[in-house]
Structure 1
Amino acid sequence: MRYAYRRATIYVMTETNMNPEFEDDFDDLFTNTTGDFELAERNALRRVAGLSTELTEITEVEYRQLRLERVVLVGVWTEGTLDEAENSLKELAALAETAGSEVLDGLIQRRSRPEPATFIGKGKVSELRDVVAEAGADTVIADGELTPSQLRALEQEIKVKVIDRTALILDIFAQHAKSREGKAQVELAQLQYLMPRLRGWGETLSRQAGGRAGGQGGGVGLRGPGETKLETDRRRIRTRIARLRREIAEMRTARDTKRTNRHRHLVPSVAIAGYTNAGKSSLLNRLTGAGVLVEDALFATLDPTTRRALTSDGRHYTLSDTVGFVRHLPHQLVEAFRSTLEEVTESDLVVHVIDGSHPDPASQVRAVREVLTEIGADALPEILVINKMDAITPDREIELRADYPDAVFVSAHTGAGIDKLRLVVEQALPQPAVEMTVCVPYVRGDLVSRIRQRGEVLSTEHRGDGTVVHARVDEALAAELRPFELAADTA
């Protein structure tokens, strides 16, 4: 089966001097326009078609960058329905276009399992080689993770560069990372992916014996300079991985400090999670006016953004936009981004955003929940939110409401359903543990303010000796209010 994906792609290069570096300020509400600047900066540099990517030009493997241009996709359909296999290849096409490539064609082969040697069968390899030559492609992208031997065998047979889904996602992350922590996490994931594949990329990485010819197989004519290029590459990568892990651990300390401050003040936290391009950043902007980057592209958000929001009764809580998930999210990325994903695991509530316009939202829900389980966030309370309701037909809406009766249906683009979502989030937030009635003197207005911020006010009354407040508060604040507590018969 063959599926063609043809799209005219125009690459534009503009000049810009904007390079904003905005701090994620906890108190920066309704005024942040960082996203507009980030989008302008990202659009200022686009890949230009026509640059050569000949495989023979690659010499420094550790700095090998995926300069994707004209690509052909190939996938193996091992389970599920044909629609699911086609949706997976369409998603791969969207990933490739996000990385800056032009998708020319796509092939799917039905097999019980991938071919151990070449991922696809020998006959399909020949067909793929003909398609690549006919289309003038310079890259083949496999819809799966290739072993080093599969990668090497396919490149030798097809005579163009071959990469897999994992390498493609890593390349997109490398393009979109902006913060120091995000760049370090992406580089760590790339190096972990590259380590076992060094021998598969580049025939210049020959093995040479050193000293006494390295034991068996050595002898006259086989003595070399000692440490070979392959061994040097591995040693340098291991050194760099160790340094990156230390840097990420140090940056994690700063993130933990901010999170501890929120916990110390008992501010509830809500994490917005979901499939990539489901509209999580748009939803955060609607709920808080955060002004974060919004782009119709996969993995537009890598660096988490936390903003403060208010309930209708004045309580504070935080909303965090997190990196999007995808089917077969590379394990290296999950490990490298674990400190970032802890924004989800440490939250009190997960708002799971689903793209209502996607042809198969159920598969996206499964993919997201698999990652949540992997990071230990599967037991957290969850609110399902079906987004992009403005982009679906009435019949499709009826189907979604039947499939997800407990979900909240919204449109971050038009604002429909946002007020209902706020109410549902408020009701799901953890309630303060201690209910009490206090009479706070007017000179202690700061206590009344803290009750409103950290507790749930049930009623208030102004008397001559102070403000009578009936509220639920946390235990720490309740201890401060004990001297002002009223007896049950005087409340």
Structure 2
Amino acid sequence: MGHNVFGNTVGLKPSELKNLERLYRRRVPPASIISHELARELARISAEINRQVGLLINRKGEIDYVVVGTFNRIEIPELRGYRDHIARLKGLRFIHTHLLTSKSNQSELDQDDLIDLALLRLDLVGALEVNPNGEPGKIHIAHIIPDPEFFTGGPFSEKENQFFYFLKPCYVWELRENFLELIKNLEDELERIKPLKEVDEQKDRAILIFLKESNEPYLEERIFELKELARTAGVTVVGEVVQKKTSPDPRYVIGKGKLLEVMVLALRTRANLLIFDRELTPSQVRALTENTDLRVIDRTQLILDIFAQRAKSKEGKIQVEIAQLKYTLPRLRAKDDAFSRLTGGIGGRGPGETKLEIDRRRIKDRIAKLERELEQISQERDLRRKRRKKLEFKTVALIGYTNAGKTTLFNTLAKSQYLAEDKLFATLDPVTKAIRTPNNRVFLITDTVGFIRNLPEELKKAFKATLEELYSADLLLHIVDISHPEFETQIEAVNQILEEMGLLHYPMLMVFNKIDLLSPSELQAIKLLSSRYQAIPISAKKGENLDLLLNKIEEKLFTPLGSLEKPLFEVEPAFAEEESLTKVPPAHTSDV
């Protein structure tokens, strides 16, 4: 590490700097937290320069960093070359001085000390009181608690909470703790925590973070939905943190105290990812990442990642990539001056473009190229739709909140085998099939991507081509998961998106799905709701009431005097999407 003195060294005399540099020669017995001699020397120097002085001591008892602060504050420099495993302590302890004044005769560990302890995963942190005469007073020491049940007894003060243990303040010569034994117990306890053994080390392990602003409803629904999004993305959720706050912190979203809780929870659960249930600004992501050493994403990024996993068609992949690039563009930042590029040749001399500018330009070029490809696909879709219209086929589009059972209904009606999972956004790519009603009418049914509350703006724009299917539909089938406790909120969310898209005035039929999951008493209540919403209650999975649904669709699509549609054999397979019109299943017969 050399013998540099870090921190606020401006204004120090050469002799004072020499005294600070000499501290590097000191050694602490490995079993001691700090020696009495070193504490006296530290207090004397701190009183002389009237600034806090701190030492980062490794487990061999060597001093790796000497740090100088101001009278009442000290900042630890960036630590490099130390182990970064999230479930292990850093291997350093931080002992620093707190200068007492004539008005204050005691100086405890403050929040900044605990933030350093948690964010940097230090072995422990200690604040040594320094009297106005330069003599050391008592030392205040704290360390992280690996498990709330850890250390049920022992030499701890009553001022302890579920995150930190505070040793009883005492003079340095009164310290009896064996430091190496203490650290071994702490790390053994971190290894022993049962939930850790159930977590796959290869998978992302996330802590979900929620901010509940005053009078904000639907917190339980938000928690459930983010958990489902994480599960869909293949992320293991190992913890949740909720903070009630009138407005988000501009730097960390949550307060510093809550951030401490997050970091201790991350240490206990080996979390390597923080997921926030709100969109983060680029500066917030940067501040959180730099201060926690964890990956940080927001709800938008999580949804984008799910879409990237789910997209199978060329169109779907293009749409997702555009959305991801548009999300990334404002979040690019320069990391180091060393990245600046010099371009050679006449007219190319000088500083040239930085890597940041080059990356931005490349992303913009890539977005433009993808949007041209998407436009072409959109035109091809439009052509197919027009050719279908010439055949006078009526079209029904399935819409609804994600995981409402749209694809299951689609598969049941069309006798198809498209992926239908109990996960959010199982379907991304639109698929069209032909359906024959019990009265021998034929119509086309299209399965589309599910909606979600606060759908990211990037996705709304990127999926315009997919959702264009809705504009050519003769009927929108709004599928509702009636078993969901917040189904009415989901209906509102879908209606809001439809209104934004100018689709709310389109002919629509509401369908209450998953009635098989309801109790008999709930089924009675649903009958009243069905008449209020003019909805058809069904079970797509069990095939209940599907004849009733087909009859209602037929009633909406065809007038009683209308002629039968053209025979199906006249439909050319080229007009179908993904073998959609080549085979028509017979009308579904319900058991009800």
TM-score > 0.5 by shorter chain: yes
CA-CA distance at 1:154 after TM superposition: 1.4
Greater than 4 Å deviation, 4+ residue runs: 6-11, 79-82, 204-211
Amino acid at match of 1:88: R
The residue aligned with 2:103 is: none
The residue aligned with 1:150 is: 284
The residue aligned with 2:254 is: 120
The residue aligned with 2:58 is: none
- Is contact 2:274–2:296 with CA below 8 Å preserved after alignment? yes
CA-CA distance at 1:431 after TM superposition: 3.2
The CA distance in 1 between the partners of 2:198 and 2:420, in whole Å, is 21
Amino acid at match of 1:157: N
Q: Alpha-carbon deviations, 1:262-307, whole Å to 9, x = none?
A: 2222211110101111110110112221322211211110001111
CA gap of 1:250–1:274, structure 2 versus 1, over 3 A, is same
Trace 1:381-460 onto structure 2 (pairs within 5 A).
381-405=507-531, 406-431=534-559, 451-453=563-565
The residue aligned with 1:133 is: 267
The CA distance in 2 between the partners of 1:8 and 1:185, in whole Å, is 38
Amino acid at match of 2:393: V
For 1:452, what is the secondary structure of its paired residue? coil
Q: Alpha-carbon deviations, 1:170-215, whole Å to 9, x = none?
A: 000000100001100100000000000112xx8358775979xxxx
For 2:564, what is the secondary structure of its paired residue? helix
The CA distance in 1 between the partners of 2:471 and 2:462, in whole Å, is 15
The residue aligned with 2:201 is: 50
For 1:453, what is the secondary structure of its paired residue? coil
The residue aligned with 2:234 is: 100
The CA distance in 1 between the partners of 2:484 and 2:520, in whole Å, is 15
CA gap of 1:330–1:9, structure 2 versus 1, over 3 A, is farther
The residue aligned with 2:428 is: 302
* CA RMSD in angstroms, aligned pairs only: 2.7
The residue aligned with 1:374 is: 500
TM-score normalized by structure 1? Answer: 0.70
Amino acid at match of 1:50: E
- Is contact 1:188–1:245 with CA below 8 Å preserved after alignment? yes
Higher relative contact order (CA 8 A, sep 6+): 1
Q: Alpha-carbon deviations, 1:368-412, whole Å to 9, x = none?
A: 112212222111121111111111212222333334422111111
The CA distance in 2 between the partners of 1:224 and 1:127, in whole Å, is 49
- Is contact 1:357–1:388 with CA below 8 Å preserved after alignment? yes
- Is contact 1:117–1:150 with CA below 8 Å preserved after alignment? yes
The residue aligned with 2:141 is: none
- Is contact 1:74–1:107 with CA below 8 Å preserved after alignment? yes
Residue from 164, 167, 172 that aligns with 2:298: 164
CA gap of 1:70–1:225, structure 2 versus 1, over 3 A, is same
The CA distance in 1 between the partners of 2:337 and 2:544, in whole Å, is 58
CA-CA distance at 1:244 after TM superposition: 0.2
Greater shift, 331-340 or 289-298, is seen at 289-298
CA-CA distance at 1:335 after TM superposition: 0.6
Residue from 58, 75, 84 that aligns with 2:210: 75
The CA distance in 2 between the partners of 1:315 and 1:10, in whole Å, is 54
For 1:119, what is the secondary structure of its paired residue? coil
CA-CA distance at 1:85 after TM superposition: 0.5
| Residue 341 (1) aligns with residue 453 (2) | no
In structure 1, runs of 5+ residues without a counterpart are 12-48, 52-67, 212-222, 437-450, 456-491
Residue from 448, 451, 464 that aligns with 1:322: 448
CA gap of 1:340–1:206, structure 2 versus 1, over 3 A, is farther
Amino acid at match of 1:413: K
In structure 2, runs of 5+ residues without a counterpart are 1-161, 163-193, 344-348, 568-592
CA gap of 1:224–1:128, structure 2 versus 1, over 3 A, is farther
Structure whose alpha-carbon radius of gyration is higher = 2
- Is contact 1:75–1:109 with CA below 8 Å preserved after alignment? yes
| Residue 203 (1) aligns with residue 335 (2) | yes
